[in-house]
Every structure is written in structure tokens, then in C-alpha cells.
Amino acid sequence: MDGNIMKRDTVAMDEAAGELVIIDQTRLPGETVLLRLSKAEEIYDAIYHLRVRGAPAIGVAAAIGLWAVCLRLPDGDREGFVTELRRVKTYLAGARPTAVNLAWALDRMERVALDHSESTVPELKTLLKEEARAIRDEDIQVCRRIGEYGLTLIGDGWGILTHCNAGQLATTRYGTALAPIHLGRERGMNFRVFTDETRPLLQGARLSACELAADGVDTTLICDNMASSVMKRGWVQAVFVGCDRVAANGDTANKIGTSGVAILAKHYGIPFYVCAPTSTIDMACPDGGAIQIEERPGREVTEMWYERPMAPEGVKVYNPAFDVTEADLVTAFVTEYGVLRPPFGPAFRKLFAEKDGKEG
């Protein structure tokens, strides 16, 4: 297959085969390998082990995956079908608890079954396919719009720092934090992007550097502890990051290390932008203290990527996958509806009131 990851969707739906198709991100940057999944356990495993990762991509993958699982259920028993759909939904939702898009997309799929109580199982299978397709298509459109709005905040030739991977590999297409860069490239603009390697799972080194290079972007990889140094030198005009869950007051959970970058950006007077699809804003969550932070195995810190363990056997390890950046460190949120400035609580409430009004 074509190894250029920018030429294919990160998450796809094979409607003929009834399968979820993902790029296995644990094999990047060395190999571009596609996985075809249709069983609940393998979809859970792919999400948990970050074969597919990034909040929007996880949501789309779970929706398509749930459809693929349901497609294989027997046609006769409607009650049994809905019971199994809900069981698999709850199971998949537990794979990555911080990324709100996972629960959000699965809720949308479940609602299809609940809202169509008269439909037969074959009809429900078609409706679930349409919903999964809609979730995927919306993700692409939302990311493109975030890219457009984000591009209004940056100039040709700017230095931009990013953390983790909130690019095309974290969504179906374009990404969120890297969408303005990809769109700018389409229009002949050039940027100098500094990508934090992002310990412990190296999403910056393995994924952001990979996709930016594939798009011809001038990319410089730095260790996480080098951000202050490049900012001090005046090489960074803006920071762009993604998010896994934004609370109603603007507190933002994103990849571990993001809050440190935000503190540095404030120190050096550099704008800190969070690119957030509205599906990642959780109005039911009042503030960052209410966000559940996923903790992962210690071996990701002590031995993953190394030829031999790099810490004494039995050492205690604390490995939170995300941290919370307080709202007052965020310059603005870039959503698919525009750029939101503080105070974020009222800005979010107004946005959702207008959005719900339009959709209702």
C-alpha cells in the first residue's frame, strides 16, 4: 500500500466487508499497516493499545466498530440485539475514559436504537451504518473548519510548537491542532513546527513528526524538556494543541505535559491555542477537577522503546496519560464554529445555545 499516511483516512469504514479499517499507529513511523476489525475485543484492544488514538479518531473508530459488531448479530431478536449493542457500547467506552469523544460517539450510536423502537434488526443495522458514516463525515468537516479558523491566527513563516499528536492521525482527516498547518500548506504557506516528542508514548516523535514530514512541513523534533529553550530563543510564535475533554469552564484535559507547555507559553508571552471540536467540550463537567484522568501501566515509562529496562526493577511509577490545563492559561479555543475567547464559560454556553437552536 502507499506509505504516505496523508493520502488515506486514519479511520475508515469498509461498508462492503462490514469492517472498521485503521492505520495501526503503533507501527508508525516505520511501517504503514492497515488493520481490519469487526470483533468487540479487537476493537477494544486497538483503542486501549493506541493502535487508533486521538480523541476524535477514537470516537469515529468506536462508532464504526460498534456498527461492525452489530452487523454480525442475528436478525430475529430485536431485544437481544439492543441488549448486546448496549453491552458492547459500555465495554468499548471503558477503553479510554478521558477522551469524551469515545462516549459521545457511542451514545449517538445507542440513541439510534433507542429512537427507533419500531424498527426491525435489519433496519437498525442500516440506521447504525448511516450514523457511523455521519459521525465520520462530520469529523472530516469539523476538522477542516477548525483548520480554517486556526489559520486566521497564524502567519506565513511562523514558528509553531505542538505537543502530542492532534493531527490527521488523531482524527479521520486534517486533525485539529495541525489542521491549520495542513491547510496553510495547501495554500503555499510555510511554517516551522516544533514538535515535543511526548513521553512516554512518543506521539510527537512517531506521529506528528511523521505526518508533518509527509506534508512537507519544516519540522523540528524536541524532547519535552526543550520547549522552554526554543521559546526563549524566540522561535515560537504560537502553541497549538488538541484536547481530550474540555470542562464547561474551559479547563482542558490533554496529553500529559500539555499544562507545562501552557505555563511556559504564558511565561514567554506566547499565545496558547486549544483546538476543540464541540464534541470534545463536555458541558456536564463543571471543571478540570471532575475529569477522570486515565492512568497507564508503568512499563510504558520504564521499558517501552528501550532495548532493556531503563529503571531499577520494582521502582514505583506514576503514569497519568493526561493532565489538566487551567482555563486561564488558554488564549483561545478554536472550534468548528469559530475562535472563542475568555471568559470561556459564557462563550461555551452561547455557542451551544446557538448550535442547539440551529440544529433543533
Per CB under 6 A, the list member of 32, 168, 172, 203 interacting with ligand MRU is: 203
Candidates 20, 55, 102, 227; binder of ligand MRU (CB under 6 A) is 55
Out of 60, 63, 243, 351, point to the residue binding ligand MRU (CB under 6 A). Answer: 243
Nearest to 349 by CA among 284, 272, 304: 284
> Closest by alpha carbon to 167, among 240, 270, 260?
240
Binding segment toward ligand MRU, per CB under 6 A, in 87-95, 162-170, 307-315, 342-350? 162-170
**Sequence-ordered alpha helix ranges (H) in the chain:** 40-48, 55-71, 78-93, 100-115, 121-151, 179-186, 203, 209-214, 227-232, 258-268, 299-302, 344-359
Q: Which is nearer to ligand MRU, 171 or 331 (CB)?
A: 171
| Per-residue contact string for residues 305-334; x = within reach of ligand MRU by CB under 6 A | ----------------x-------------
Element (H, E) at 246: strand 245-247
Nearest to 175 by CA among 130, 139, 202: 139
98 φ/ψ angles, rounded to the nearest 5 degrees: -80, -40
- Non-local (6+) Cβ contacts of 359 within 8 A are none
The answer to whether residue 244 is catalytic is yes
**Alpha-carbon distance values, 239 to 53, 181, 235, 270 (Å):** 21, 12, 11, 7
Which residue's beta carbon is nearest to the bound ligand MRU? 242
Angle between helices 78-93 and 100-115 (to 10 degrees): 170
Shortest Cβ 11–ligand MRU spacing (Å): 12
**Residue of 9, 139, 215, 244 marked catalytic:** 244
Interaction mask 12-51, ligand MRU, x per CB under 6 A: --------------------------------------x-
Three cell numbers written together for 159:
514558528
Contacts of 173 (CB under 8 A, 6+ apart): 9, 10, 139, 140, 143, 144
Residue nearer to ligand MRU on the CB measure, 55 or 153: 55
Shorter beta-carbon distance to ligand MRU: residue 89 or 96: 96
Among 65, 184, 242, 250, binds ligand MRU (CB under 6 A): 242
Is the CB of 49 or the CB of 350 nearer to ligand MRU?
49
Closer to ligand MRU at the Cβ: 18 or 56? 56
Among 51, 53, 129, 245, which residue sits at the site for ligand MRU (rule: CB under 6 A)?
53
Among 171, 195, 252, 302, indicate the residue that binds ligand MRU (CB under 6 A). 171
Q: How far is the CB of 296 from ligand MRU (least distance, A)?
A: 9
CB of 255 to ligand MRU, least distance (A): 3
Report the alpha-carbon distance of residue 250 to residue 330 in Å, rounded. Answer: 8
Q: What is the DSSP string of 285-331?
A: --SGGGSPPPB--THHHHTTTSSS-SS-TT-----BSEEEE-GGG-S
Please report, as ranges, the residues that interact with ligand MRU according to CB under 6 A. Answer: 50, 53-56, 99, 164, 166, 170-171, 175-176, 203, 242-244, 254-255, 321
